[in-house]
Amino acid sequence: MIIDQQADFRSLLMHHVTTHWPDAIISAYDPTSAGHLPDEFGGAGNDIILLGSRHGEDRDGVEVLERFKARAKFPPVIYFGTRDDESAAKALRPDAHFMRDRIRHDSLIVSLSEALLSNQHLTSTKSLFVGDVRSGIHPLIKGYRFIRKLGSTEHSGVYLAERESTHMQIVLKVLRQMPSHGDGIDAFDRFLQEYETIAEMDHPNIVKIYDLGVSDDHAHIAMEYLDGGDLRVKIDNGVAQSDAVNYLRQIASALSAVHEKNVLHRDLKPGNIMLRKDDSIALIDFGLAKQAKLESSIAKKGEISGTPYYMSPEQGHGSPVDVRSDIYSLGAIFFELLTKRKPYGGDTAMAIIYKHAQAAIPLLPPHLSHHQALINLMMAKLPEDRLQSVTEIEEWL
C-alpha cells in the first residue's frame, strides 16, 4: 500500500516496485481526496506500507507514522520524508527511511526485501511477490539461496545461504546500503578492509573468505559457515580447564598469523571467536582491524573502538595501540574461559574501562592458580609489562 497525497510520487514508488516485482498488487491511497485513514486502521491485507510525508495541511507524515508504529502487528513501514522531518521520523524507527527526493532503486529494493523477510505475518497470497523475496538471499545478489538471517549491525546484515552452483552453505555479510557521504564511507571502507585483511591469510584458525561482490548500491562478502556456534555459548555452558587452554592455543596461533601481517584485530571477544563442529577455533570479524604500521595515521585522536569488557587500558583511553593490546584482550578472554566470569564488571562502559586501567588484575580461584602468572603477563596494565608477542603464550603454557 502506497500512501501520499502527491500522485506523481505514488506513481514513482509504484514504478520502483513493479520494475522488480511485476506481479505485485499495489493499492495507492491519497489521504487528501479519500480522507485520512481511521485510527483503527491496522494495515490488514498489506504486506508492507510505503508512507510518504505529504498528507494535506492538517496532518503530517510523522504523525501518521507514529500512529502506525503504535499499533501491534502492523505491517512494516517504509517512510519517505524530507530534511525537515528526518530526525522526528528516524526517532520512530520505521523499517527503512528515505529522502523522498533522493530514492535510489537498488537501495529501495534491498530495504523492501529485508522488511518483507523480517515480517512474520505476511498476508499476501501472491507467491510471485512474497515468494520471490523469500527464495533469494538478497534481491541484488545472484547465485545464492537464502536460508535464514543470522544477525545484523547498524550497517550490515549477516545471512546463512547456500551457493546454488555447489550447494555449499556459506555466510553472506551484506552492507545494507552504499551511502554517499559521512559515516557511510567509513562503514564501506571497514567492510572492504575486513575482506582484504582476511582474504590474504591462510590459517586454520581464521575464517575462510570465498568471494567479494561490489555494486553501486551494496557490497557483500561470502565466507565460511562456522556451524559450532561462538565461544560465548561455550563459556555460558562452562568450559573444562583443558579445553580453555586448547582454545587459548588456537586463538593465539591465529593472532600470531594476524600480527605477522602487521594487522591488529582490536575487537577480540567471545562473540568474534567461532567454532566448527570438530571444535576447532576460527577468528572472525576483522571490521575494526588496522594495519599496525598505519595505526597512528589512520586513527582519530582519542578514538575508542572495541568492546569494553575485553579492552586494553590504552585502547579504552583512546591511546595508540599495538599487538600488546590484542594480547591483553586475549588474557581477558582466557580469564573468562577459566572462571565463567568477566575480569571486570560495571554499570557503565566507562566504569569498566576505568577498572581495566586502575583495578588490580583479577585473581583466579586456588585450583586454577597455576595459570595466574600467565594472566598477569597478558593483562598487565602497562604494555611494556605484558608478553610482547603472542608466540610467548605457548612457551608459558
Which residues are marked as active site?
A: 267
- Looking at beta carbons, which pairs linking 314-319 to residues 24 or more positions away fall under 8 Å? 314/383, 315/266, 316/353, 316/356, 316/357, 317/353, 317/357
Closest-CA residue to 197 (of 105, 283, 69): 283
Q: Where would I find the beta strands (DSSP E) of 215-364?
A: 219-224, 263-264, 273-275, 281-283, 290-291
Q: What's the one-letter identity of residue 352? A: I
Q: What is the DSSP string of 286-304?
A: -TT-EEGGGHHHHSPTT--
Contact at 8 Å (CB) between 78 and 49? yes
Closest-CA residue to 82 (of 4, 160, 190, 174): 4
Contact at 8 Å (CB) between 371 and 361? no
User: What is the C-alpha end-to-end distance of the chain, expressed in Å?
Assistant: 63
Closest-CA residue to 259 (of 308, 323, 328): 323
Q: What Rg value do the Cα atoms of the chain yield, rounded? A: 25
Q: In angstroms, rounded to a whole number, what is the distance separating the alpha carbons of residues 221 and 284?
A: 12
Q: In angstroms, rounded to a whole number, what is the distance separating the alpha carbons of residues 381 and 361?
A: 8
Q: In angstroms, rounded to a whole number, what is the distance separating the alpha carbons of residues 79 and 125?
A: 24
Residue 235 CA to its chain's centroid (Å): 22
Task: Please give the grid coordinates belonging to residue 179.
Answer: 551511502
